[in-house]
Amino acid sequence: MLIRSISGVRGLVSSHLTSDVVVVYARALHKFLPDGVIVTGRDSRSSGDLILEEMCEQLVQLGRTVIHCGIVPTPTVQFMIHNTEAVGGFIVTASHNPIEWNGLKFIREDSTFFHPDDCKKLFEIVDKDPAIELAKVPGMIWPEQNAVQKHVISCVSLKCIMLNRIQKRKFKVIIDSVNGAGSHALPIMLQALGCEVIKLNCEPDGNFNRGTEPLPENLMDLCQMVRDHHADVGFAIDPDADRLAIVNEKGEPLGEEYTIVLAADGYLDETNRSEKFVLNLSSSLALEKLAEIKKSSVVRSAVGEINVVNKMNEVNSNFGGEGNGGVILRECHLGRDSLVGVTMILNRMSQSNDPLSVIHQSLPQFKIVKDKLSLESIDADEIITKAIELFKSAEKNTLDGIKFTWDDSWIHLRKSNTEPIMRIYAEAPDELRAIKLVDKIKNLI
């Protein structure tokens, strides 16, 4: 099936995201966006080349000029839109989905992903598939060779870091790019930060030879390389390089949840001011507890990058993100960005002579458990009804699915935006308590 959501469209290339479908989406995007230049790029999946070519060819026939960035991180395309006169753009990527999948993410003029209403209108145009006249004068494709370099320059120029201090530390870093879109960008970024860089899975050939999500169970090779090379830190990203996970100097994965917590800790110490952070409902309590200690606060949004961004704009927040390793810093652009994340983590490490394991342990400690159930085998509404009866004593939030919260723990049930599954996330001060919360839901089936 073709999955349509606030994250764009995704589907199996062999059966659903076919050439005919791609052409219809190109026409709809042309009809939706105002006149002007469109920016594009893709991740390293082999199927992406043809999809991007078909999209660009159709847009050129419709009179559009397309700035083609090639294989680059998703946040690089967002950064380019943010810093040009482009009216929007799209990215050919299926993010963390398996290799047989691909997809399209659509970007607004302000560099944010399409809002829910934008997606609804675009999908209505797609469903009608109106006839569109080809332009009398075709547009053109403009190759952009320096998108990554421009993005890197922006990251090393952030006001909330001390570049010289980072460079003087000469951190030894292992980077695992899963042979995805960040395979060139992240090593370039790290070299600009003065690091000794050791590459793992940094050929952008789409051969995802570990699990695509940078989860602890997929990072065993990275952990071993950190130990073998006595590195200061290991970084891992997903195929389109918007999510970042961290491994400490002992070769221990910290979990994606602590990416944003570490980045925020350094940000607060560097800027020396209070901040209103925005996190989605499924992100860790750790940042909330840290914010309390440092006279800051956390506002929660529905899950999904654009929901976080919209809430950031609503409450005038400079820093937000998601517990899946996504760091959003307004100063660069309003999107999850692993390059920004790497810069901010190394800045936090440079603020102290302590190793990363000690820095991590100084933060509020929680354990999160992430599970899921196929929607083919359950009635999601029935499970939620039973859960409400089971967790009568908890505070309830129905902004996105349903979340049950206690003083030091929570469990969140919601349908995925990108897969036919129901996600079950739980967190507590120790893993056993979090697992027991998840098991209570599974026992309802």
Model confidence at 133, in pLDDT bands (50, 70, 90)? confident
DSSP reduced 3-state for 401 = coil
Q: Domain limits at 323?
A: 151-361
For residue 415, the model assigns a pLDDT of 86
Euclidean distance between CA atoms 151 and 167, whole angstroms: 18
Asked whether residue 9 falls in the same domain as residue 36, the answer is yes
Asked whether residue 70 falls in the same domain as residue 89, the answer is yes
- Torsion angle defined by CA atoms of residues 217, 218, 223 and 228, in that order, rounded to the nearest 10 degrees: 130
Out of 17-31, 171-185, 415-429, pick the least confident: 415-429
Asked whether residue 325 falls in the same domain as residue 411, the answer is no
pLDDT tens column, 295-332: 999 999 999 899 999 999 999 999 999 999 999 999 99
On whether the CB atoms of residues 280 and 362 are closer than 8 A, the answer is no
Asked whether residue 297 falls in the same domain as residue 384, the answer is no
Asked whether residue 173 falls in the same domain as residue 212, the answer is yes
Q: Which percentage of the chain shows pLDDT scores above 70?
A: 100
pLDDT tens column, 225-258: 999 999 999 999 999 999 999 999 999 999 999 9
Of 388, 417, 386, nearest in space to 400 by CA: 417
For residue 380, the model assigns a pLDDT of 84
Q: What is the DSSP letter of 53?
A: H
Q: Which percentage of the chain shows pLDDT scores above 90?
A: 90
Examine the fold and report which residue of 361, 394, 418 is the final residue of a domain before the chain moves on: 361
Asked whether residue 160 falls in the same domain as residue 133, the answer is no
Sequence letter at residue 324:
N
Gyration radius of the chain over CA positions: 21
Output the CA angle 322-324-326, nearest 5 degrees.
Answer: 55
Asked whether residue 87 falls in the same domain as residue 221, the answer is no
Tally of domains in the chain: 3
Q: Span 417-426, mean pLDDT?
A: 86
Model confidence at 134, in pLDDT bands (50, 70, 90)? confident
- Domain containing 96 — which CATH number? 3.40.120.10
Euclidean distance between CA atoms 34 and 192, whole angstroms: 37
Residues 6 or more apart from 215 whose CB is under 8 A from it?
A: 245, 256
Asked whether residue 208 falls in the same domain as residue 131, the answer is no
pLDDT tens column, 358-380: 999 999 999 999 999 888 878 88
Helix axes 338-350, 147-156, angle to 10 degrees: 30
- Domain containing 376 — which CATH number? 3.30.310.50
Asked whether residue 244 falls in the same domain as residue 343, the answer is yes
pLDDT tens column, 23-52: 999 999 999 999 999 999 999 999 999 999
For the chain, what is the largest distance between any 2 Cα atoms, rounded to a whole number of angstroms? 66
Asked whether residue 304 falls in the same domain as residue 318, the answer is yes
Of 89, 82, 88, 92, nearest in space to 154 by CA: 82
DSSP reduced 3-state for 425 = strand
Examine the fold and report which residue of 110, 145, 180 is the final residue of a domain before the chain moves on: 145
164, containing H or E segment: helix 163-169
Asked whether residue 223 falls in the same domain as residue 340, the answer is yes
Examine the fold and report which residue of 101, 124, 145 is the final residue of a domain before the chain moves on: 145
Of 415, 407, 414, 404, nearest in space to 437 by CA: 404
Asked whether residue 206 falls in the same domain as residue 329, the answer is yes
Euclidean distance between CA atoms 429 and 206, whole angstroms: 38
Model confidence at 196, in pLDDT bands (50, 70, 90)? very high
Of 282, 189, 194, 277, nearest in space to 241 by CA: 189
